Chains A and B, each alone.
Chain A
Amino acid sequence: QSVLTQPPSVSAAPGQKVTISCSGSSSNIGNNYVSWYQQLPGTAPKLLIYENNKRPSGIPDRFSGSKSGTSATLGITGLQTGDEADYYCGTWDSSLSALWVFGGGTKLTVL
């Protein structure tokens, strides 16, 4: 069971918008930056969002991130079939000792 809670799956039609939530606590999301990762089938994860809402160079502005309190959200607009992937949130957790935690992952299906 992951420290960060994500919905197992979300789906939407091409061109539509989808959001993926990531829920945590004050020891992780509440006091640390959140990052998001995209894992296309058979590949290594790739950084999509860092510091809650910043995009690395090369990531299209269709991808956005936000954080409020102990929850974070990844938004994807203008969905494309190529966006079908698993998405993970991650952050530091300082409840006992400093350790990194991931959400359980969300499978995005573009119908």
Chain B
Amino acid sequence: QVTLKESGPVLVKPTETLTLTCTVSGFSLSNARMGVSWIRQPPGKALEWLAHIFSNDEKSYSTSLKSRLTISKDTSKSQVVLTMTNMDPVDTATYYCARMTDNPSLDYWGQGTLVTVSS
């Protein structure tokens, strides 16, 4: 079955760089119909889409966060990595990765990982 799981630090300091890994199973990152997005949700707030990587390695980023984000994938490891530079307390959120199909929709989600930014 399809699963996605986020991993990374639970606590980062202001100005540090956050690196999150999404490990997927049940599908291949080279599948032409599949891609992976990162989404975050500050406590008590709405979902915010961050970035997406397509099967052909094309990338798309949130306009407001583009300068701070990098998304990449390692197909052999079934992993998608998101880095976010210059972290700030307002970046405290649960970070999700999700599979996107060509319908398009986010059909499978990871459980999410809470990242707190604090000194």
Residues of A bordering B, CB below 8 Å:
2, 32-33, 35, 37, 39, 44-47, 50-51, 54, 56, 88, 90, 92, 96-105
Taking the nearest CB of chain A, how far is it from the CB of B70, in angstroms?
16
Assuming the contacts A35-B103, A90-B106, asked whether A98 and B60 have C-beta atoms less than 8 A apart, the reply is yes
Q: Does B104 touch A at the CB level, under 8 Å?
A: yes
Chain A residue numbers with a CB within 8 Å of B109 are 44-46
**Are A102 and B46 in contact (CB-based, < 8 A)?**
yes
**Sample of 26 A–B contacts (CB below 8 Å):** A2-B46, A33-B103, A33-B104, A35-B103, A35-B104, A35-B106, A44-B109, A44-B111, A45-B39, A46-B109, A47-B106, A47-B107, A47-B108, A50-B103, A50-B104, A50-B105, A51-B105, A96-B63, A98-B60, A99-B61, A100-B49, A102-B46, A103-B46, A104-B46, A105-B46, A105-B47
Q: Give Cα distance in the complex from A51 to B52, angstroms.
A: 19
Known: A44-B111, A105-B46. 7 other contacts (CB 8 A): A35-B106, A44-B112, A47-B107, A50-B105, A51-B105, A100-B52, A100-B100
Q: Give Cα distance in the complex from A103 to B49, angstroms.
A: 10
**Are A44 and B110 in contact (CB-based, < 8 A)?**
yes
Specify which of B39, B46, B49, B105 lies most central, judged by the most chain A CB atoms within 10 Å of its CB.
Answer: B105
Chain B contact residues: over half helix, strand or loop, or mixed?
strand
Q: Give Cα distance in the complex from A92 to B62, angstroms.
A: 12
**Are B103 and A97 in contact (CB-based, < 8 A)?**
no
Using a Cβ cutoff of 8 Å, how many contacts connect chains A and B?
A: 68
Q: Give Cα distance in the complex from A50 to B62, angstroms.
A: 22
Assuming the contacts A97-B60, A100-B60, asked whether A47 and B105 have C-beta atoms less than 8 A apart, the reply is yes
Which of B1-50 touch A at CB < 8 Å? 37, 39, 46-49
Taking the nearest CB of chain A, how far is it from the CB of B6, in angstroms?
10
Chain A residue numbers with a CB within 8 Å of B103 are 33, 35, 50-51, 54
Taking the nearest CB of chain B, how far is it from the CB of A35, in angstroms?
4
Q: Give Cα distance in the complex from A88 to B49, angstroms.
A: 12
